[in-house]
Copies of this chain bind each other. A is one copy, B any other.
Amino acid sequence: MAIRYPNGKQYTQPVHKSESTQPKKDSVFSNRGMTLEDDINETNAYYLSRNLAVIHKKPVPVQIVRVDYPARSAAVIKEAYFRQASTTDYNGVYKGKYIDFEAKETNNTTSFPLKNFHAHQIAHMKQVGEHGGIAFVIIRFSKTDELFFLPFYALNRFWERMHDGGRKSITKAELADCSAALKLGLSPRIPFLNAVDAVYF
Protein backbone atom coordinates (compact mmCIF):
# COMPACT_ATOMS: atom_id res chain seq x y z
CA MET A 1 0.00 0.00 0.00
CA ALA A 2 1.41 3.37 -0.98
CA ILE A 3 2.04 5.89 1.78
CA ARG A 4 0.29 9.11 0.94
CA TYR A 5 2.66 11.38 2.82
CA PRO A 6 3.26 14.15 1.77
CA ASN A 7 -0.37 13.88 0.93
CA GLY A 8 -1.14 16.98 -1.06
CA LYS A 9 -3.59 18.31 1.51
CA GLN A 10 -3.55 22.07 1.78
CA TYR A 11 -1.27 23.40 4.47
CA THR A 12 -3.29 25.23 7.10
CA GLN A 13 -1.42 27.43 9.50
CA PRO A 14 -2.71 26.65 12.99
CA VAL A 15 -4.32 29.64 14.62
CA HIS A 16 -2.84 30.53 17.99
CA LYS A 17 -4.07 33.24 20.30
CA SER A 18 -0.52 34.06 21.25
CA GLU A 19 2.61 33.29 19.34
CA SER A 20 4.46 32.59 22.55
CA THR A 21 2.22 29.61 23.40
CA GLN A 22 3.29 27.75 20.28
CA PRO A 23 6.05 25.21 20.87
CA LYS A 24 8.45 26.35 18.17
CA LYS A 25 10.55 23.21 18.11
CA ASP A 26 7.62 21.12 16.92
CA SER A 27 6.40 23.54 14.32
CA VAL A 28 7.80 21.50 11.44
CA PHE A 29 5.52 18.62 12.46
CA SER A 30 2.60 20.80 13.42
CA ASN A 31 -0.79 19.57 12.39
CA ARG A 32 -1.53 20.46 8.80
CA GLY A 33 -5.27 20.72 9.21
CA MET A 34 -5.45 16.95 9.64
CA THR A 35 -7.65 15.28 12.18
CA LEU A 36 -6.36 12.78 14.68
CA GLU A 37 -8.20 10.13 12.65
CA ASP A 38 -6.32 11.14 9.47
CA ASP A 39 -3.02 10.92 11.32
CA ILE A 40 -3.78 7.51 12.77
CA ASN A 41 -5.00 6.15 9.45
CA GLU A 42 -1.75 7.29 7.84
CA THR A 43 0.20 5.74 10.68
CA ASN A 44 -1.62 2.41 10.28
CA ALA A 45 -0.99 2.48 6.53
CA TYR A 46 2.70 3.12 7.25
CA TYR A 47 2.88 0.24 9.74
CA LEU A 48 1.13 -2.07 7.28
CA SER A 49 3.42 -1.07 4.39
CA ARG A 50 6.49 -1.77 6.54
CA ASN A 51 4.98 -5.07 7.65
CA LEU A 52 5.14 -3.99 11.30
CA ALA A 53 1.50 -4.44 12.29
CA VAL A 54 -1.95 -5.05 10.81
CA ILE A 55 -4.25 -2.44 12.32
CA HIS A 56 -7.37 -1.00 10.69
CA LYS A 57 -10.06 1.48 11.58
CA LYS A 58 -13.51 -0.03 11.84
CA PRO A 59 -16.19 1.43 9.58
CA VAL A 60 -18.61 3.94 11.06
CA PRO A 61 -21.63 1.96 12.27
CA VAL A 62 -24.85 2.97 10.51
CA GLN A 63 -28.37 1.66 10.70
CA ILE A 64 -29.55 1.27 7.12
CA VAL A 65 -33.29 1.83 6.70
CA ARG A 66 -33.91 2.24 2.98
CA VAL A 67 -31.92 1.22 -0.09
CA ASP A 68 -32.76 1.94 -3.70
CA TYR A 69 -31.59 -0.37 -6.47
CA PRO A 70 -31.61 1.72 -9.65
CA ALA A 71 -31.40 -0.26 -12.88
CA ARG A 72 -27.81 -0.63 -14.13
CA SER A 73 -26.41 1.33 -11.17
CA ALA A 74 -25.00 0.62 -7.76
CA ALA A 75 -27.39 0.35 -4.83
CA VAL A 76 -28.01 3.71 -3.17
CA ILE A 77 -28.64 4.00 0.56
CA LYS A 78 -31.41 6.59 0.80
CA GLU A 79 -32.06 6.57 4.54
CA ALA A 80 -29.70 5.59 7.30
CA TYR A 81 -28.75 6.74 10.79
CA PHE A 82 -25.53 6.88 12.74
CA ARG A 83 -25.37 4.29 15.50
CA GLN A 84 -23.25 4.52 18.61
CA ALA A 85 -20.19 2.31 18.32
CA SER A 86 -20.29 -0.61 20.72
CA THR A 87 -16.54 -1.09 20.73
CA THR A 88 -13.50 1.03 19.90
CA ASP A 89 -12.43 2.48 16.56
CA TYR A 90 -9.18 0.62 15.90
CA ASN A 91 -7.98 -2.93 16.32
CA GLY A 92 -5.55 -5.40 14.87
CA VAL A 93 -2.50 -7.52 15.57
CA TYR A 94 1.06 -6.57 16.54
CA LYS A 95 3.80 -9.05 17.49
CA GLY A 96 1.16 -11.72 17.95
CA LYS A 97 -0.84 -9.58 20.36
CA TYR A 98 -4.36 -8.26 19.93
CA ILE A 99 -4.30 -4.44 19.84
CA ASP A 100 -7.43 -2.39 20.56
CA PHE A 101 -7.63 1.36 20.96
CA GLU A 102 -9.67 4.50 20.75
CA ALA A 103 -8.48 7.97 19.75
CA LYS A 104 -9.99 11.16 21.15
CA GLU A 105 -9.39 14.85 20.66
CA THR A 106 -10.29 17.69 22.97
CA ASN A 107 -10.30 21.46 22.58
CA ASN A 108 -9.74 21.80 26.32
CA THR A 109 -6.28 22.96 27.30
CA THR A 110 -5.88 21.87 30.91
CA SER A 111 -7.71 18.56 31.26
CA PHE A 112 -9.34 15.77 29.30
CA PRO A 113 -13.08 15.26 30.00
CA LEU A 114 -14.01 11.63 30.62
CA LYS A 115 -17.42 12.13 28.99
CA ASN A 116 -15.53 11.56 25.71
CA PHE A 117 -15.82 7.85 26.47
CA HIS A 118 -19.00 5.79 26.61
CA ALA A 119 -19.47 3.24 29.38
CA HIS A 120 -19.62 0.38 26.87
CA GLN A 121 -16.29 1.42 25.35
CA ILE A 122 -14.72 1.26 28.81
CA ALA A 123 -16.37 -2.14 29.39
CA HIS A 124 -15.07 -3.34 26.03
CA MET A 125 -11.47 -2.30 26.72
CA LYS A 126 -11.65 -3.92 30.13
CA GLN A 127 -12.76 -7.20 28.54
CA VAL A 128 -9.93 -6.95 26.01
CA GLY A 129 -7.41 -6.66 28.83
CA GLU A 130 -8.95 -9.61 30.67
CA HIS A 131 -8.43 -11.77 27.59
CA GLY A 132 -4.78 -10.85 27.17
CA GLY A 133 -5.23 -8.09 24.60
CA ILE A 134 -3.58 -4.68 24.70
CA ALA A 135 -6.03 -1.80 25.12
CA PHE A 136 -5.16 1.88 25.26
CA VAL A 137 -6.30 5.32 24.19
CA ILE A 138 -4.56 8.09 22.27
CA ILE A 139 -5.55 11.53 23.48
CA ARG A 140 -4.83 14.71 21.59
CA PHE A 141 -5.09 18.25 22.87
CA SER A 142 -5.97 19.93 19.59
CA LYS A 143 -4.92 23.46 20.48
CA THR A 144 -1.38 22.49 21.37
CA ASP A 145 -0.98 19.29 19.33
CA GLU A 146 0.00 17.42 22.49
CA LEU A 147 -0.42 13.65 22.33
CA PHE A 148 -0.77 11.17 25.18
CA PHE A 149 -0.67 7.39 25.02
CA LEU A 150 -2.72 6.21 27.98
CA PRO A 151 -2.87 2.47 28.73
CA PHE A 152 -6.37 1.31 29.54
CA TYR A 153 -5.47 0.18 33.06
CA ALA A 154 -4.48 3.79 33.84
CA LEU A 155 -7.57 5.25 32.16
CA ASN A 156 -9.70 2.87 34.18
CA ARG A 157 -8.40 4.31 37.46
CA PHE A 158 -9.62 7.77 36.45
CA TRP A 159 -12.92 6.30 35.23
CA GLU A 160 -13.48 4.58 38.58
CA ARG A 161 -12.47 7.71 40.47
CA MET A 162 -15.25 9.54 38.61
CA HIS A 163 -17.74 6.80 39.50
CA ASP A 164 -16.67 7.08 43.13
CA GLY A 165 -17.71 10.73 43.03
CA GLY A 166 -14.37 12.18 41.99
CA ARG A 167 -13.54 14.61 39.21
CA LYS A 168 -14.96 14.04 35.74
CA SER A 169 -11.73 14.67 33.89
CA ILE A 170 -8.03 13.84 33.83
CA THR A 171 -5.74 16.79 34.40
CA LYS A 172 -2.86 17.23 32.00
CA ALA A 173 -0.39 16.68 34.85
CA GLU A 174 -2.08 13.36 35.69
CA LEU A 175 -1.97 12.37 32.03
CA ALA A 176 1.73 13.16 31.82
CA ASP A 177 2.33 10.97 34.89
CA CYS A 178 0.41 7.95 33.55
CA SER A 179 1.18 8.14 29.84
CA ALA A 180 3.92 6.97 27.56
CA ALA A 181 5.58 9.64 25.46
CA LEU A 182 4.05 10.18 22.03
CA LYS A 183 5.45 12.83 19.73
CA LEU A 184 3.91 13.85 16.43
CA GLY A 185 6.33 12.79 13.72
CA LEU A 186 6.71 12.64 9.98
CA SER A 187 6.68 8.94 9.17
CA PRO A 188 4.79 7.58 10.94
CA ARG A 189 2.75 10.57 12.07
CA ILE A 190 1.87 9.08 15.46
CA PRO A 191 4.42 6.41 16.43
CA PHE A 192 2.18 4.64 18.92
CA LEU A 193 3.83 1.24 18.52
CA ASN A 194 6.92 2.66 20.25
CA ALA A 195 4.70 3.35 23.23
CA VAL A 196 3.16 -0.14 22.99
CA ASP A 197 6.69 -1.57 23.07
CA ALA A 198 7.67 0.55 26.05
CA VAL A 199 4.57 -0.26 28.09
CA TYR A 200 3.67 -3.84 27.13
CA PHE A 201 6.78 -5.63 25.80
Residues of B within 8 A of A97 (CB): 96, 98, 132
Complex: A53 Cα to B131 Cα, angstroms:
7
Complex: A61 Cα to B98 Cα, angstroms:
22
A177 at the interface (CB under 8 A from B): no
Partner of A93, one of B54, B77, B86, B98: B98
Residues of B within 8 A of A79 (CB): 76-78
**A119-131 Cβ-contact flags toward B at 8 Å (1 or 0):** 0000010011011
Residues of B within 8 A of A201 (CB): none
| Contact call B92/A81, Cβ cutoff below 8 A | no
A71 at the interface (CB under 8 A from B): no
A64 at the interface (CB under 8 A from B): yes
Shortest Cβ gap from A67 to chain B (Å) = 9
Shortest Cβ gap from A121 to chain B (Å) = 12
Shortest Cβ gap from A59 to chain B (Å) = 4
Residues of B within 8 A of A76 (CB): 79-81
Residues of B within 8 A of A91 (CB): 91-92
Residues of B within 8 A of A60 (CB): 59, 62, 64
Chain A interface (Cβ within 8 Å of chain B)? 48, 51, 53-54, 56, 58-62, 64, 74-83, 86-87, 91-100, 124, 127-128, 130-133
User: Top 8 closest A-B pairs, CB basis?
Assistant: A96-B132, A93-B98, A59-B61, A93-B133, A77-B80, A98-B98, A59-B59, A93-B131
